Structure 1
Amino acid sequence: MSTTRSLTREELVRLITRKVIEALQGGRPIPLGVSNRHIHLDRADMDILFGPGSELTHKKDLGQPGQYAAEETVTLRGPKGTLKKVRVLGPLRSETQVEISVADGFVLGVKPPVRESGYLNGTPGIEIIGPCGSIKKDRGVIVALRHIHMTPTDAEQFGVKDKDVVCVRIGDAVRGAQLTNVHVRVSAQYALEMHVDVDEANAVGAKNGDFVTICKCEETPACKLEGKR
């Protein structure tokens, strides 16, 4: 005999919210991913931190195709303090990049700029400590610029293109807000998902699995990225 489980109040609220957003966006809500502090490693730094020829151990898939959280973690040491068990994300990249929140920067004693991934010129460095060694980087620490990943089909449906800047309504009924300067990234290799960091999510009462809405900007956003790759 089959049984039907009753939805909890929280599940019911989330279901209703999703249905409303689906209606507003023609059946295509944008799921939200909240990024905690993490690090991307290049091959050379992986060898120093975890041993020559070491490989990342898959822990769980992330929202973007081919991206995953690894079992491996490192410690970050700055001028003022340290952060332990910072997750390594895979696969390996061409250059090591550390993504933290503004609050994490206070703990470490560094002032990373808000940057799009890969734009590392002029960024502060950090000491990275692994089980087999440590390395002092002279650049690579950023606060990730909030953004939306989407496919070309998604972009056509939403009426945007790669590198566009949009506004998004995000968060719960009590602390929700409109975020400006949300950058659009379009590629056939992406899956539809918006990314914010923990500081931004906490400020508006948002969490992983929520849905956001592209909206008309109340003011024209003017966001200029500093630095080059």
Structure 2
Amino acid sequence: MDNQLKDAISRAVIQALENRRSPLQQIHEVPIAVSNRHVHLSRKALDRLFGRGYELKKWKDLSQPGQFAAQETVDLIGPKGIIRNVRVLGPSRGDTQVEISLFDGFTLGSHPPIRDSGDLADSSPITIQGPRGQLKLDRGLICAARHIHMHPNDAIRFGVSEGQRVSIQVPGARAVTFDNVLIRVSPKYRLEMHIDLDEANAANLKTGQIGYLSRA
């Protein structure tokens, strides 16, 4: 077999392999943000904890448009412990939601379920102490499941859709793959994956590092 024929066969084999590449092998970069414990308050909860008509004061803007960390903090009271000075995020929401890590749950003596944000059915009870009052909730305490915020243009570019679950690979000394990552799509969102402090520490990650999404 002459060299010209060998080259032709090699090119054909390479092309065939390229054509068979899974779409999952088409890689996209996603910035990662580490989310510490925090509280989202309803209007009613804000009145109870800080006084009727109280408005949150912005401390700093968050990466997602329109969201901010407030100057205000509250204390979380569980069956066995207290976590003090937990940051309130604004603006206020329809339902009060408290997001902690599983390790925080040990401190409080609680066992929060791992849930997508907003899924509060049968979530754990929690007591919140503010400067003007205390609020005892029958539900609302969760460990937020890992997720990615995306603008619709990003979703089109990545070939994914709202509610889809994907995997994110993160290289490094503690290389890790995050599975079951929820895709959330809205014109109000900026591209960013959110993980909690436990996940970040396990993988030695800091806010701003890059993960790689394999297009589904």
Relative to the length of structure 2, the TM-score reads 0.86
Aligned-residue identity in percent? 52
Residue 151 of structure 1 deviates from its aligned partner by: 1.0
2: CA distance, partners of 1:186 / 1:194: 12
TM-score, L = length of structure 1 = 0.81
Match of 2:90 in 1: 90
Runs of 4+ in structure 1 over 4 Å off: none
Q: Which has the higher strand share?
A: 2
Matched AA of 2:100: I
The 5 Å alignment of 1:12-161 reads: 25=27, 29-161=29-161
Report SS of the residue matched to 1:179.
strand
Counterpart-to-counterpart distance in 2, 1:79 and 1:155: 42
Larger radius of gyration: 2
Whether the aligned pair in 1 keeps the contact of 2:146 and 2:182 (CA below 8 Å) is yes
Aligned to 2:12: none
Deviations 1:139-174 (Å, cap 9, x if unpaired)? Answer: 00000010001011101111111111100012x521
Q: Which SS does the other structure have where 2:124 is aligned?
A: coil
Q: Secondary structure at the match of 2:173?
A: coil
Other-structure match for 1:207: 206
Q: Match of 1:139, SS? A: strand
Q: Any residues of structure 2 matched to 1:209-224 within 5 Å, and which?
A: 209-215=208-214
- Tell me, in whole angstroms, the C-alpha distance in 2 between the residues paired with 1:185 and 1:135: 30
- Unaligned runs of 5+ residues in structure 1 are 1-23, 218-229
Q: Distance in 1 between matches of 2:124 and 2:84?
A: 19
CA contact (8 A) 2:169 2:178 kept: yes
Instruction: State the shift of 1:29 in Å.
Output: 2.8
Match of 1:190 in 2: 189
**What are the equivalent positions in structure 2 for 1:159-198 lying under 5 Å apart?**
159-170=159-170, 173-198=172-197
The superposition leaves residues 27-50 of structure 1 with CA deviations (integer Å, 9 ceiling, x where unpaired) of: x63111100000000011101111
Q: In the aligned structure 2, how far is the partner of 1:69 from the partner of 1:60?
A: 5
Gaps of 5+ in 2: 1-25
Indicate conservation of the 8 Å contact 2:158/2:215, yes or no.
no
CA deviations 1:77-132 (Å, max 9, x no partner) are 00000000000000000010000000000000111111011110101111100111
Counterpart of 2:133, as a letter, is G
Shift of 1:215: 3.0
Alignment partners' CA distance in 1, 2:82 and 2:43: 24
